[in-house]
């Protein structure tokens, strides 16, 4: 981490002061790296990307063309006076072209975006999170580990998404109970929940662990753990543990027992992985306490 210049650099790049490059860093053409930036080993930053002051980009990152890392907040837009809002991104990031990540956020390892993703300020994002093309993560959100957000997802301010949540395309988590107002209240999606394509969740609701919100549902009430909720307004119709594969007749939920791609139990199975966790980590998921919570 002692190099003063990248190993490879295209034409017309601008490098600020107090910039630290790791080994084997590559910059494309017309990149701007502002003051007080740290870029880890083996990072590749494509042409036309801007890395603003106070950004730390971890090792082995790939940043596509035309991205902005550490984008200005409103204070600079109003005063035109630079204010450093640090942005920290962990190792192995894959940030595709035209993504804009605002300053003032913390993002873990293995972060991945599609194209044209926006993540606003004061976001706390865990490890191995994927955010699909054209998705918009508003400010003051908290997203856990191994969360998968597909394309065109809108996450309103103050939302909280726990570990191992799946959110499919065109989902909206709202936050204003009496629009327009400034009395925002975020949605809380609990671990292992699935919110299917086109669902809309009203402000302040709890979406229970392991539940399934069906495609197109308009959720106006809290969803219990393990519940299947469908319709407009959404209502509980079943328990996910009663859903069977239409071809094999075998159970398909909880999904963690039948799906492992992208997950930390990819080389074994969920039960084996879960058995390696210490007691506080197990209590974080409350699997034992919730096992019979949604029998219907």
Name the phi and psi angles at 68, rounded to 5.
-125, 120
The residue written with tokens 């994927």 in the block is 130
Provide the β-strand partners of residue 211: none
Residues of the chain with pLDDT > 70, as a percent, come to 96
- Per-residue pLDDT of 210-258, as tens digits, reads 999 999 999 999 999 999 999 999 999 999 999 999 999 999 999 999 9
CA–CA distances in Å: residue 92 to residues 108, 110, 149, 172, 191: 9, 5, 18, 28, 24
For the chain, the domains span 8-253
Average of per-residue pLDDT values in the chain: 94
CA–CA distances in Å: residue 248 to residues 10, 54, 121, 245, 252: 55, 53, 46, 5, 10
Q: What is the pTM of this model?
A: 0.94
**CATH architecture, range 8-253:** 3 Solenoid (2.160)
Please say if the pLDDT value at position 41 is more than 90: yes
Distance of CA 231 to the CA centre of its chain: 26
């Amino acid at each position: 981490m002692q190099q003063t210049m990248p190993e490879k650099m295209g034409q017309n790049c601008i490098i600020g002061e107090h910039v630290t490059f790791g080994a084997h860093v590559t910059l494309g053409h017309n990149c701007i790296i502002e003051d007080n930036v740290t870029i880890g080993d083996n990072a590749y930053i494509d042409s036309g990307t801007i890395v603003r002051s106070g950004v730390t980009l971890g090792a082995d990152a790939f940043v596509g063309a035309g991205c902005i890392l550490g984008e200005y907040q409103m204070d600079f837009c109003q005063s035109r006076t630079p204010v450093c809002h640090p942005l920290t991104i962990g190792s192995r990031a894959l940030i595709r072209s035209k993504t804009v990540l605002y300053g003032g956020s913390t993002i873990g390892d293995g972060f991945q975006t599609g194209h044209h993703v926006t993540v606003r300020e004061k976001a706390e994002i865990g490890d191995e999170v994927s955010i699909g093309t054209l998705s918009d993560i508003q400010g003051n959100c908290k997203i856990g580990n191994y969360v998968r957000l597909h394309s065109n997802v809108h996450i309103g301010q103050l939302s909280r998404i726990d570990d191992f949540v799946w959110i499919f395309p065109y989902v909206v988590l709202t936050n204003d109970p009496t629009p327009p107002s400034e009395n925002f209240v975020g949605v809380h999606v609990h671990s292992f929940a699935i919110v299917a394509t086109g669902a809309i969740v009203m402000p302040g609701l709890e979406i229970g662990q392991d539940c399934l919100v069906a495609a197109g549902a308009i959720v106006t009430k809290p969803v219990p753990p393990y519940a299947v909720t469908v319709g407009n307004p959404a209502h509980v119709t079943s328990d996910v543990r009663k859903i069977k594969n239409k071809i094999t007749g075998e159970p398909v939920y909880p999904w963690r027992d039948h799906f492992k791609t992208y997950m930390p139990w990819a080389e074994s199975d969920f039960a084996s992985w879960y058995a390696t966790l210490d007691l506080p980590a197990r209590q974080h998921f409350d699997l034992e306490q919730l096992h019979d919570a949604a029998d219907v």
